[in-house]
Amino acid sequence: MESILETMDYIPMNRPMWWGTLGTVRPFLPFDPVMDARQIYAALEKKSTDVMTLVRIITNRTNAQRQSIATAYNNLTQKDLGAALKKALSGPLEELLLALMMTPAGFDASRLRQAMEGLGTDEEALLEVLCTRSPDQLRDITVAYKEAYSRYLENDLIGETSKDFTSLVLAILKKEEINRQGVIDYQLIDQDVRNLNDGVSGKKSDPAPWIQILTSRSLDHLNRVLSTLEELKGEAVDKTIQKHFSGDLRLGLRILVRTIQNTPLFLAQRLQACMKKNAVVRGILVARSEEDLLWVRVEFRKLANVSLYTTIQKEFKGDLQAALLALCRSEDV
């Protein structure tokens, strides 16, 4: 363990940092994809696979850099790097490194497919991906899903969900922000608050305005709407949803609202609740490693009173632990 982490190729402190991100994985400099590809090839060709080298390189490059390495590996060996990793590795470590070698859209598409495969649908996994992605990202995911599985994501969502929950997930998938970003429209805020309140004021709750409003406004606008609604009703929006909706729709609206209000906190809560589930931990660390994992770490520390880094050390062992810690990156005191 110590040897893997100590030999990690961190960016030297005297080099310019890649600002503008709350991710833990940043561009490695100086980057040489051909050299990385050669080292990976050598690690895979050993009688006993040199896992330390694979972890050291793959967890310490951005996704764009990993794609360059994959191209260089193919040019060098005339073989696919993903297939080579799959042949040499097994179990959770194989799944993690293969996830890191996918494009972001491809990885999210694979998570959606896994959530819908087999008996029953993992609604929380489905919602985690859909609710934490921008409209542009969702469009990329839709394309990647069709390319990977020769299936239409929208059709699969319809087939695996029902009633109002279907309407919600399709609205999230196709969400478009109709209000202007950065412009505070007080009239629209008041109108949205009234419509949301009206939706839960009758004998039977009406999910239509909730679905329509929560999937067609900017985050800044929605946070103003939700805070105003909370003041009006004297309770958290989460409690309002729990009182007036049920089943998968209630779950979907709750997760959607939580991601609108604070996505990193939602992800920290999910990590805390699902730390023993490899797929959940892998999904969040890989998906958020270049976006906001630093913020997720902060929220996890406040929530659990222990750092994510320490928690991973306790819950995982061996090479998988080393790879997850490399993505998490460091301790939060």
Under the banding of pLDDT at 50, 70 and 90, the label for residue 9 is very low
pLDDT for 6: 37
- With a cut of 70, say whether residue 48 has pLDDT above it: yes
Distance CA 114, CA 108 (A): 10
Confirm if 328 and 293 have CB atoms less than 8 A apart. yes
pLDDT, tens only, 169-221: 999 999 887 766 778 899 999 999 999 999 999 889 999 999 999 999 999 99
| b/e 306-325 (16+ beta carbons within 10 angstroms → b) | ebbbebbbeebeebbbbbbb
pLDDT for 21: 78
**Helix segments in 132-246, DSSP class H:** 135-149, 153-160, 163-173, 186-199, 208-214, 219-233, 237-244
Angle, in degrees to the nearest 10, between helices 163-173 and 135-149:
100
Residue for token pair 């929560």: 214
pLDDT for 16: 38
Under the banding of pLDDT at 50, 70 and 90, the label for residue 119 is confident
- With a cut of 80, say whether residue 154 has pLDDT above it: yes
- Mean pLDDT for 149-164 is 96
Q: Is the peptide bond before 30 cis (omega within 30 degrees of 0)?
A: yes
Average pLDDT of the chain to the nearest whole number: 92
In this prediction the pTM is 0.90
Under the banding of pLDDT at 50, 70 and 90, the label for residue 10 is very low
